[in-house]
Amino acid sequence: MNDTQKIPLKNSPSISIKEKLSWGIFDLGNVSFTIVLVDLVFSLYFVQIICARRTDGTFLLSLAAFSTQIFVAFFLPFVGALSDIMTKKKFLLGFFFSVCIIATTLLGTTKEGDVWKSLLCYSVANISFSFTENIFSTFLPELIPISFIGRFSGWTRAFGNLGGLFSLLIVYPFLSPGFTVSNTELLRLCFPIVAAIYMMCGLPLFFNLELQKKPKTHLKYSKALLKIFSDLKETLFLLFHNKALILYFAGSFLFFSAATILMIILAVYAQMEYGITGAQQIGVFLLIQAGGTLGSFIFGLIQDRWGSRRALQIDLLLWIVCISSLVFANTKPAFYAASFLIGIGNGSLPSLSRAVMSLLSEEEKIGKHFGLWGLSCRIATGIGPLSFGYLFMITHSFKTPMLLPLFYFLGSLFFVSFLPKIRRESNR
């Protein structure tokens, strides 16, 4: 592929500082929700508290995580297409945002033995959050001139990671006594606290953000649904003729598979391989968040200065170094250093990936493209841990399966290296 293939870039109209700030604050809520609820609190709370008298807690949790990702993967393209056709992005965003807050709050009413209630609330919260985050990302090209999209996405993600760090500090007093049945009442408070943080961070966007894309037609839901199927079929057909998007979808699938494996098993890996438990595990996540803040800020600058492809290559190389350190290092200091580097990679990857997707997408089909991309990424977040778990069952070791995300990142680096350079053609 010609390395200097020309990809047309889009312009964004003038947007107020208040609108941009509102979007950035929402990102703070996204990161806080993910790091506190998804990556840390619920998994340990479910296995050690809800399933304290059961032996199948880990299996049920992994099954719920896989099922929710497949559900999101199937329906995300339709949600994206609906937002394009009916121009109802703010309405859809508000609906899923509200459902996520309610379901997360209800998790605070669960206790030992509430297996299916907790799984239902978690699944609904995770599904609605996934829809919310995807729709939220489609606002990015409307908010910022295209030549600054990488820097803006990176800085807002850095702000979000900093918020995630403070959110961890807020819930730390409730977590520090440990994930024990005797500490259930304090642990339950984490869920409404996370829901409140998420709500406060999201509300400014709904009051301040005005959509730049105005509806051209008003379709009934039945006609809109038929048009969704027709447009998705057309989008899929055109996608197979867009080499840049095909390469990016393949690379995204692999690097999200690998990153999800690391974020899900890191706490278990720390305990099994290095004896890191309890409050020390929270310290590891604080270290990851600190690295994430730094990574989002730095890679936003790298992307705007050196280009999206080069920034992704550097980020993937960093991930490869992280995994190599985890596989071949055997000391706690090496693990802590690798955790900080994982934080840098994890903090920068979402901002880089959504910015590149915004640059590669056609303006009139951005919702559909983001929906299809989200489908690919959600399947990856289900397949990645599943492949790791299967390899673990065969080898009964953590070291050997850790090579799997290493190969995923190497494959992703291969695909990303063939992405065309994106020329900056802002007509400001």
pLDDT tens per residue across span 183-206: 899 999 999 999 999 999 989 888
Burial bucket for residue 7 (CB in 10 Å: 0-12, 13-18, 19+): middle
Question: Is the four-CA dihedral 49, 55, 58, 59 of positive or negative sign?
Answer: negative
CATH number of 17-211+219-416: 1.20.1250.20
Of 154 and 327, more confident: 327
- The domain segmentation of the chain, as residue ranges, is 17-211+219-416
| Among 169-183, 277-291, 331-345, the least confident range | 277-291
Helix/strand/coil percentages in the chain, nearest 5: 80, 0, 20
Question: How far apart are the C-alpha atoms of 261 and 242, rounded to whole Å?
Answer: 29
In angstroms, what CA-CA distances link 106 with 2, 100, 188, 195? Answer: 53, 10, 10, 10
pLDDT of 287 reads: 85
In this predicted structure, what is the pLDDT of residue 227?
A: 64
Q: Alpha-carbon torsion 423, 319, 337, 329, what sign?
A: negative
Is the pLDDT assigned to residue 241 strictly greater than 80?
Answer: no
H or E element at residue 358 = helix 332-360
- In this prediction, residue 218 carries a pLDDT of 53
8 Å CB contact between 191 and 107: yes
Write down the pLDDT at residue 81. Answer: 65
Provide the pLDDT confidence category of residue 45 given band limits of 50, 70 and 90.
confident
Predicted confidence (pLDDT) per residue in 331-366, tens digit: 888 888 888 988 888 878 877 887 788 777 766 667
Q: What is the pLDDT of residue 12?
A: 44
Q: Measured between alpha carbons, how far apart are the two ends of the chain, in Å?
A: 30
Separation of alpha carbons 168 and 418, rounded Å: 39
Encode 342-375: b = buried (16+ Cβ within 10 Å), e = exposed.
bbbbbbbbbbbbbbbbbbbbeeebbbbbbbbbbb
pTM of the model: 0.72
Tell me how far apart the alpha carbons of residues 380 and 374 are, in angstroms, rounded to a whole number.
Answer: 10
Report the pLDDT value the prediction gives residue 119, as an integer from 0 to 100.
93
**What type of residue sits at position 95?**
F
Distance CA 297, CA 189 (A): 32
More confident position, 413 or 138: 413
Q: Report the percentage of the chain scoring pLDDT > 70.
A: 78
What is the residue-averaged pLDDT of the chain? 78
As to burial, measured by CB atoms within 10 angstroms (0-12 exposed, 13-18 middle, 19+ buried), residue 242 is middle
**Quick one: tokens of 92?**
């859809």
